[in-house]
Amino acid sequence: VFMEYVTVIGCSMSIVCLAATIFCLMIFADIRSKMITKTRLNVCFCLMTAEIIMLTGLDKVEDVTGCIIIAALLHFFFLSTFMWAAIEGFYLYLKIIRVFPSVEPKLRTYILVGYTVPLLFVIITLASSLPDSYVGKYACWLGPIVIWAFAAPLGLIMIINIVIFILCMRAQWRTNSSDVQQNTKLLVKLRGSACIFFMLGITWITGFFYLHNQYLAIPFTILNSLQGVIIFLLLIPSDRIIRSRFKMLFSRWNVKEHQPLNTMTQGTRSTQSEMISRRQSSSTHVHNGYL
């Protein structure tokens, strides 16, 4: 019972932080239109969807058909999360090595890779394995027979992304002094992407063992709940541009809130001035009459 509460609280916290991250990335049009933002939105969306499915249906092992559907969806969205994290690293690598815009892949290409590749692994797993292979002992997840349908692509994606990060650092060391400022901005984003990617990797290394060993429930739950929090902290408060945009937004709200009050104050003052001038005028007329 205690672990159920910990899981619910942890996943809920992660979901809320991921939803807040998506909102903050989408609220400003110029930030929303950037390719790096689009890749990060997909990372957050896939992870948040997987967390919601995990929170609501991971333990529904009594319904075999429903459990298979839940496990297949978790398989797809978690693989998609890692795929989009890798796409983000690849995109930053292309920016650092200065690929021409005509050569740079379009968003539709990234979407095709980011969702089609995970879908193929899920379809192959469903087609080649027994139904019970998608139903674990404690959870709706890949059984021991087909766990490599998740572990193998995940390991491959992690290796590719590590190579990309190394190539990015190598490209930075060879950069001309005139390009240092631009590359420094890209490397700040790259470090954020690397932190997110390795955090996802560590979480799921623990997750592999947790789904077959309940003693690792607490470490996995803590790491799982930290995913959304860390992603939010890395992408929103730590981003100088987003911070400045929110400061501008809040300052505009403050100005709008004070404007009606200032208008009322000015109106009251003008009314009082008019009344005083009228009184003075009437008193002058009275004195003139007596004289």
Q: How confident is the model at residue 176 (pLDDT cuts 50, 70, 90)?
A: low
Closest by Cα among 24, 79, 77 to 52: 77
- Does 233 reside within a domain? yes
What pLDDT, on a 0 to 100 scale, did the predictor assign at position 278? 55
Long-range contacts of 273-277 (CB under 8 A, 24+ apart): none
What pLDDT, on a 0 to 100 scale, did the predictor assign at position 19? 97
pLDDT of residue 29 exceeding 70: yes
With tokens 């979407």, the residue in question is 111
- Does 232 reside within a domain? yes
In tens, the pLDDT along 124-168 reads 988 887 666 777 777 788 877 788 888 889 889 889 888 888 888
Lowest-pLDDT range of 104-118, 133-147, 235-249 = 133-147
- Does 127 reside within a domain? yes
Positive/negative CA dihedral, 143, 144, 145, 151: positive
Residue 59, phi then psi, degrees to nearest 5: -100, 10
Q: Is residue 220 a contact partner of residue 14, using CB atoms and an 8 Å limit?
A: no
What pLDDT, on a 0 to 100 scale, did the predictor assign at position 118? 96
What pLDDT, on a 0 to 100 scale, did the predictor assign at position 283? 47
Alpha-carbon distance of 240 to 243, in angstroms, equals 5
pLDDT of residue 121 exceeding 90: yes
Q: Is residue 36 a contact partner of residue 92, using CB atoms and an 8 Å limit?
A: yes
pLDDT of residue 181 exceeding 70: no
pLDDT of residue 281 exceeding 60: no
Task: Using a pLDDT cut of 70, give the percent of the chain over it.
Answer: 79
What pLDDT, on a 0 to 100 scale, did the predictor assign at position 236? 93
What pLDDT, on a 0 to 100 scale, did the predictor assign at position 108? 94
What pLDDT, on a 0 to 100 scale, did the predictor assign at position 214? 67
- Does 89 reside within a domain? yes
Q: What is the domain range of residue 130? A: 2-238
- Does 45 reside within a domain? yes
* CATH code of the domain containing 218: 1.20.1070.10
Q: How confident is the model at residue 77 (pLDDT cuts 50, 70, 90)?
A: very high
Residue 174 vs residue 202, higher pLDDT? 202
Buried b / exposed e across 90-122, counting CB within 10 Å, b at 16+?
bbbbbbbeeeeeeeeeeeeebeebbbeebeebb
pTM: 0.81
What pLDDT, on a 0 to 100 scale, did the predictor assign at position 262? 52
- Does 134 reside within a domain? yes
How many domains, in total, are found in the chain?
1
In tens, the pLDDT along 36-51 reads 999 999 999 999 999 9
What pLDDT, on a 0 to 100 scale, did the predictor assign at position 286? 39
Q: Which of 86-95, 251-260, 272-281 has the highest mean pLDDT?
A: 86-95
What pLDDT, on a 0 to 100 scale, did the predictor assign at position 142? 82
What pLDDT, on a 0 to 100 scale, did the predictor assign at position 279? 55
Which amino acid, one-letter code, is at 57? G
Rg of the chain over all Cα atoms, to the nearest angstrom: 29
- Tokens at residue 74, please? 């978790």
Q: Is residue 60 a contact partner of residue 70, using CB atoms and an 8 Å limit?
A: yes
pLDDT of residue 273 exceeding 60: no
What pLDDT, on a 0 to 100 scale, did the predictor assign at position 274? 54
Average pLDDT over residues 205-224: 74
- Does 291 reside within a domain? no
What pLDDT, on a 0 to 100 scale, did the predictor assign at position 251? 87
Alpha-carbon distance of 93 to 113, in angstroms, equals 17
- Tokens at residue 126, please? 């469903």
- Does 38 reside within a domain? yes
Q: How many C-alpha atoms does 160 have within 13 Å on its Cβ side?
A: 15
